[in-house]
Amino acid sequence: MGRKLLLEHLNKANINTMEGYLQNGGYRSVEKALKKMTPDEVTEEVKKSGLRGRGGAGFATGMKWSFLDRNSGKPRYLLCNADESEPGTFKDRLLMEKIPHLLIEGMIVSSYALGCRTSYIYIRGEYMFILRILEKAIAEAYAKGYLGENILGSGYSLDLHVHPGAGAYICGEETALIESLEGKRGNPRIKPPFPAIAGLWGCPTIVNNVESIAAVVPIINDGGDEYAKIGIGKSTGTKLISASGNINKPGVYEIEMGISVEEFIYSDEYCGGIKNNLELKACVPGGSSVPILPNHLLLKMSDGNPRLMTYESLSEGGFATGSMLGSGGFIVYDEKACIVRNTWNFARFYHHESCGQCSPCREGTGWMERVLHNIEYGHGKMEDIDLLWDIQRKIEGNTICPLGDAAAWPVAAAIRHFRHEFEYHVKYPNRVFDEDHVYQPEMKMQKV
């Protein structure tokens, strides 16, 4: 069994209440940080831990914190990104729903390190039931003196609030999140300036994912060096993976970075193998935005060694043969899953979620959706496949925010690795599906 740092107490009685949380060692990091450490010492531990942002981009958290403008004379803000809308990702939800105090504890220690007087948790509007859980836990924390004026007599004061979004994937992008928190449409801002210089209301701001902030708790409790002992290379610590799709045991798993992809899919501790004894066909390992990989590239790297669940290993080979760890939204496809249908589905998603500011993204996502729809429903032409390739290439890198790339990459990867399925759809428009949208046997992936 791998070590658990975040979900260790998941199944303890009353862990969602202050009482239960304290019984399991809760809020120790607040005592330690606020009474015995300076803010810079807290940041130093986070740097030592090697923690990388768990929201998708994997940027070093300690480094990001050091960019915060501490001399502007303006208030500084920490915003927790609980927008969690990347298809395939449902890990932050588990953490907040079951162990809300872990996030609150992490917010207190992180806000202390950054010198914030007020911090916000921006949570997607559909998670209103979790907002209520968090608000209840925050009230408990105020009552116990972990929030508010002069926390535990340390002289440090902090207010923490939860702010709901209202159904917009783009608000997970950090500058869109800030716009949304200011009461506006979620249109990403042109960078620079970066939020660390001018973020919420023009003030220096750090945006971090729920899981990143929760990880600060074990890092302060046990020290950054201890955290860095888990994992391989620049992928330290544990990672929450949300596993979905055609597997026996979908759910959220905390893994030690560095276990193999094969173990994650097939061992009973995690996904428990492919459902209905079917073959593994493909996987999107890091949320809908990252490239899909066929089974042979998924389980092994280009040098023949097993592919591991780390930032480096999953991206080994670049997009030619690799993908990304991303948000840890691990979507598994069995041999009957239709890659064209899935690609169309994701294209529809990005078209729907594009904020519309940049023409390549606004027009390109819609165009890709229409072309893919045509192919999927038997009206495609062979040229359409190259057309798709062309559209996605023109979106990538040409937009204000990375949603454009996120829309382009899945299409590119699907064509790169599964071109034969697109061609098959064009050639045999009437033969592809049975009535349940499941592939006919002859389309099963060749065993590799």
Ligand X SMILES: Cc1cc2nc3c(=O)[nH]c(=O)nc-3n(C[C@H](O)[C@H](O)[C@H](O)COP(=O)(O)O)c2cc1C
Applying CB under 6 A, the residues found at the interface with ligand SF4 are 170, 188, 354-358, 361-362, 399-401, 403-404
Residue 165 near another protein by CB under 8 A: yes
Are 47 and 63 in contact, with CB atoms under 8 Å apart?
A: yes
Q: Which of 54, 341, 417, 425 binds another protein (CB under 8 A)?
A: 341
Residue 212 near ligand X by CB under 6 A: yes
Of 9, 15, 180, the closest CA to residue 83 belongs to 180
**Residue 438 corresponds to which amino acid?**
V
Residue 172 near ligand X by CB under 6 A: yes
Residue 286 near ligand X by CB under 6 A: no
Residue 121 near ligand X by CB under 6 A: no
How far apart are the C-alpha atoms of 442 and 218, rounded to whole Å? 51
Residue 401 near ligand X by CB under 6 A: yes
Residue 209 near another protein by CB under 8 A: no
Burial of 251 (0-12, 13-18, 19+ CB in 10 A): middle
CB atoms within 10 A of CB 151: 22
How far apart are the C-alpha atoms of 153 and 145, rounded to whole Å? 9
Q: Which of 93, 300, 417, 425 binds another protein (CB under 8 A)?
A: 93
CB of 163 to ligand SF4, least distance (A): 21
DSSP characters over 174-236: HHHHHHHHTTS--PPPPSSSPTTTS-GGGS-EEEEEHHHHHHHHHHHHH-HHHHHHSEETTEE
How far apart are the C-alpha atoms of 374 and 385, rounded to whole Å? 11
Of 239, 439, 393, the closest CA to residue 329 belongs to 239
Residue 354 near ligand X by CB under 6 A: no
**Residue 18 corresponds to which amino acid?**
M
Residue 379 near another protein by CB under 8 A: no
CB of 343 to ligand SF4, least distance (A): 18
Residue 180 near another protein by CB under 8 A: yes
Residue 43 near ligand X by CB under 6 A: no
CB of 236 to another protein, least distance (A): 26
Of 69, 50, 400, 12, the closest CA to residue 223 belongs to 50
Residue 174 near ligand X by CB under 6 A: yes
Residue 111 near ligand X by CB under 6 A: no
Which residue, 22 or 60, is less far from ligand X as judged by CB?
A: 60
Residue 212 near another protein by CB under 8 A: no
SS3 356: coil
CB of 384 to ligand X, least distance (A): 26
Strand order across the 251-256 sheet? 251-256, 238-245, 329-334, 280-284, 293-294
Are 117 and 157 in contact, with CB atoms under 8 Å apart?
A: yes
Are 88 and 287 in contact, with CB atoms under 8 Å apart?
A: yes
CB of 392 to ligand SF4, least distance (A): 13
Residues between 106 and 125 that touch another protein (CB under 8 A): 120, 124-125
Which residue, 37 or 261, is less far from another protein as judged by CB?
A: 261
- In the list another protein, ligand X, ligand SF4, none, the entry touching 90 (Cβ below 5 to 8 angstroms by class) is another protein
Place of tokens 């916000």: 120
CB atoms within 10 A of CB 337: 19
- In the list ligand SF4, another protein, ligand X, none, the entry touching 420 (Cβ below 5 to 8 angstroms by class) is none
Q: Which of 215, 216, 243, 445 binds another protein (CB under 8 A)?
A: 243
- In the list ligand X, another protein, ligand SF4, none, the entry touching 193 (Cβ below 5 to 8 angstroms by class) is none
Which residue, 86 or 179, is less far from ligand X as judged by CB?
A: 86
Site string for another protein, 248-277 (x = CB under 8 A): --xxx-------------------------
Q: Record the tokens describing residue 20, joined without a space.
A: 């239960």
Residues ≥6 apart with Cβ < 8 Å to 148: 142, 157, 158, 159
Which residue, 29 or 246, is less far from another protein as judged by CB?
A: 246
Q: Which of 26, 39, 56, 328 binds ligand X (CB under 6 A)?
A: 56
Return the bridge partners of 118, or none: 77, 159
Which residues lie near another protein (CB under 8 A)? 84-90, 92-93, 120, 124-129, 132, 159, 161, 163-169, 180-186, 201, 242-246, 250-252, 288, 329, 331, 333, 337, 341-342, 345-346, 349, 352-353, 355, 436-437
Which residues lie near ligand X (CB under 6 A)? 53-57, 59, 61, 64, 81, 83-86, 170, 172-174, 207-209, 212, 401-403, 406
